[in-house]
Amino acid sequence: MIARSSLPSLSSARGFPSLANPSGWRRLAVLPLAACALLALPGTAAHAQGGTIQFSGRIVEPPCSFQVDAAATRVQPNCARPAFGQVGFVDLYSGRKLGSSTLTIASAPFAIPGQGTRRNPMIVTVDYR
């Protein structure tokens, strides 16, 4: 009879189970099965037939772009499709409302308020209706 300690190890230095420990081989056989099961789970959710998507909020796409003329005294709206709304001007430093203009389908360039001799940075807000 050969003692267990005298059985040669296949290569325990490489991390493989030895012949003296057969339960290590069973654990090695279970790993590929577990990996296959985990890889199969996301596929079933991706192929769901039907369902409902609930959405809350707004999808926002500004219908107009704005260009400032060379003298920085007038703003020209460029609208690809009909747009209505209000354009407001607010002083950046004081937060004071400087004025507003109405945006319509055929908007002509409108004056930038408070831009006489001073060039103050401002915030322009556009509310589409």
Handedness of CA 20, 24, 25, 26 (dihedral sign): positive
Q: Within 13 Å and on the Cβ side, how many CA atoms surround 82? A: 2
Neighbours of 63 (CB within 10 A): 16
86, 103 in Cβ contact below 8 A?
yes
Where does residue 77 rank: exposed (0-12), middle (13-18), buried (19+ CB within 10 A)? buried
Segment 4-27 mean pLDDT: 56
pTM of the predicted structure, to 2 decimals = 0.46
- φ, ψ of residue 124 to 5 degrees: the values are -110, 125
Segment 61-105, tens digit of pLDDT: 777 888 888 777 888 888 877 788 888 888 888 888 988 888 887
